Amino acid sequence: EICPDCHLIKLGTMGEYGTPNIDIEEGYLTVTHNGRTDTLPYPKQGNSFYHLSKIHDSTNILFACKAWKLAATDLNQGIVYGVKTDETVAHPDLINRYDYDGIFGTALNRFVVQAAVGHPLTVYG
């Protein structure tokens, strides 16, 4: 009631999805069961209490958006290639970057760099 037009942005993690043996869909999955079809939020399967807490955040935000017609974006960040792969070590030009700036870097990368050099963690956005 204080700011109904606000848009919440929540940073989650790809760990919320676990490691399913099916493609991870963007947000929703259409399923048919016992002759009936519905579109449901993609089932998340966290493998730790941390990931479960992020899943609960996502579920609570989804409920709040439905109940109070709020706007939210739920971003799930993940490492695409990790530190190295067989392909990236084959040539120096293929080594992954470690971006920590405000444009390409993730919040986590920025926090790690700031902590490593003894700089206070900065939250903005």
**DSSP letter, residue 124:** -
| 8 Å CB contact between 30 and 90 | no
For the question of residue 54 being annotated catalytic, the response is: yes
Catalytic-role residue among 13, 42, 88, 100: 13
Catalytic-role residue among 19, 30, 32, 54: 54
For the question of residue 69 being annotated catalytic, the response is: no
* Helix residue spans in the chain (DSSP H): 49-68, 107-116
d(CA 93, CA 48): 35
For the question of residue 44 being annotated catalytic, the response is: no
Catalytic-role residue among 30, 42, 44, 50: 50
Closest CA to 4 of 70, 64, 61: 70
Catalytic residues: 13, 50, 54
